[in-house]
Structure 1
């Protein structure tokens, strides 16, 4: 098996996250936006993080990138990138050795991510000049290469952000994230404000980059249809927790968690006569989430055990998979008492 420069063999976990938490301080108390997430991303893999607005998806991106707000109450857990325990690095080392160079982020609202008074080409080249100390000319040459890679005309390098359309600004922000050739790129709702044709064009660019360069992606979105274009695996978030992780094929055809099934039933289907069904109710407050299953109040399959603390995170195939069957789904995990063979399972 081929080995990368970081010592991680192709196909092995590039990113490993254990018990990641990010809580915000408010006058009412701590908001537990990210509350003990454990997952991994393989090299060359695209993990899609799905969930309703307010479930903690964007906070997950901030936690991984250490983009802490001023009202930070708690940031914990362990994160490995390759063989490096990046969660133990000092802020300065993390900024110099990880941010943009190995781990990059494409944020929501691309216009807000660009400086309105600096030309786009200079902004795309900036990570190379700041972090790698490249001379301006060399950095701009690399920026030109990435402009072409994401489908931006080279003359746009001399333009200001306000002179670009929304789709072109999104491509520019993507170019900024890719310019230093990071191993993993986090995409936070990269197509949410774009028209359907521009969304398709952006997703095609991402698929080409993934195929040609082997870049790993974490795509954060609430758009099930768009996510299916890129996903190798899906992680579904609900109220600050992960409730299911599995292959994209499994998730889009036969999800295990009741929330996953209801989410898929809410999506319109082109060739089906059934009408989409809304999910009744509201997510719980993250100021004081319930002690048992956080989806229980909205779940039609709830039963007495759902009120017990910390529902199990178990193999998605239940007892059969735990016994060794379904090896292709060995990474399928679901946080639901319905799938616990004997009411047990690993917690976290």
Structure 2
């Protein structure tokens, strides 16, 4: 019998009420994450990546119009839990979250050691002494000296603050950690240092990661699989090797062509046009207006097709029908 994936997301929808109408930020997402695996969610700003993280962790704003689907954690649909049960059994205990801006996630008037220890005290009922001891351990794990436990967030660099937030997510030893743009606004050397630390944690602890980013180069360091997101949907899902070596979806090809490379004679190419409004997405393929391969059938919404090395490519080019 095949082992169940650690996380299985099925037909997940997260819509918001706004003055412009209902924004379909996450619109029918399907994906899985295995134990000890790193799934990278790539895509342009505004495609729904951060909303996907919020939906999985149920850290939601007040204007939610719809949150539906199934989020199975080790076979149990935790999206069906009421808020109290989800907080008590899932959030921080089995799933951790590293927010996009580390400074905003930290209380400026509380020492970072106390903030890192807090999830263990609140969610696991640990004593203050045990939580402080564990905070020292995770500080070492993320590459921060224990001397920094007594400092305030404003006394740390951006890279140090990012490591502190990572330590906060790891202190309760969750099975899965969601990282929302963990290296944004950091210099290249600090980005590389944090990615190397994540690879070490994944290797030594077997922690699973969902890395949400628009940085193709950085994501390739950690990825086992890639989910490419566009206008609220996953348009390509498969192995990182297949994606970075030979992307299948037209958007994936253009995205990879836009990335500058050291050993490449061709200049990076910009993707023409703009993503559609998530308040009024087109009825057919959402990438059609920007796609150089557009044809008649793109007026219909494509399902996901299996392609070599990929679990799903949401494009009619792979349906076997000749182009008009």
Give TM-score, length-normalised by structure 1: 0.91
Q: Deviations over 1:33-88 (max 9, x none)?
A: 00010110011100000000000000000000101111111111100010221011
Question: Which residue number in structure 1 is paired with residue 10 of structure 2?
Answer: 18
Q: Return the match for 2:307 from 310, 316, 329.
A: 316
Matching of residue 332 in structure 1 with residue 324 in structure 2: no
Question: Which residue number in structure 2 is paired with residue 230 of structure 1?
Answer: 222
Q: Return the match for 2:133 from 133, 141, 144.
A: 141
Give distance in 2, aligned partners of 1:28 and 1:52: 21
Q: Which has the higher contact order (CA 8 A, sep 6+)?
A: 2
* Unpaired segments ≥5 residues, structure 2: none
Give distance in 1, aligned partners of 2:162 and 2:290: 36
Question: Which residue number in structure 2 is paired with residue 99 of structure 1?
Answer: 91
Question: Which residue number in structure 2 is paired with residue 293 of structure 1?
Answer: 285
**Local SS of the residue matching 1:100:** coil
Question: Which residue number in structure 2 is paired with residue 123 of structure 1?
Answer: 115
Matching of residue 202 in structure 1 with residue 194 in structure 2: yes
**Local SS of the residue matching 2:6:** strand
* Unpaired segments ≥5 residues, structure 1: 2-7, 318-328, 344-348
Shift of 1:153: 0.7
Matching of residue 284 in structure 1 with residue 276 in structure 2: yes
Q: Deviations over 1:277-329 (max 9, x none)?
A: 00000000111100000000000000000001x21211023xxxxxxxxxxx3
Matching of residue 64 in structure 1 with residue 43 in structure 2: no
Shift of 1:332: 2.3
**Local SS of the residue matching 2:261:** coil
Give distance in 2, aligned partners of 1:168 and 1:269: 29
Give distance in 1, aligned partners of 2:318 and 2:303: 9
**Local SS of the residue matching 1:128:** helix
Contact 1:312 1:340 (C-alpha < 8 Å) held by counterparts = no
Shift of 1:342: 5.1
Question: Which residue number in structure 2 is paired with residue 176 of structure 1?
Answer: 168
Question: Which residue number in structure 2 is paired with residue 326 of structure 1?
Answer: none
Shift of 1:232: 0.3
> Segments of 4+ in structure 1 off by > 2 A?
none
Give TM-score, length-normalised by structure 2: 0.97
Question: Which residue number in structure 2 is paired with residue 161 of structure 1?
Answer: 153
Shift of 1:341: 2.9
**Local SS of the residue matching 1:174:** helix
Q: Return the match for 1:261 from 250, 253, 261.
A: 253
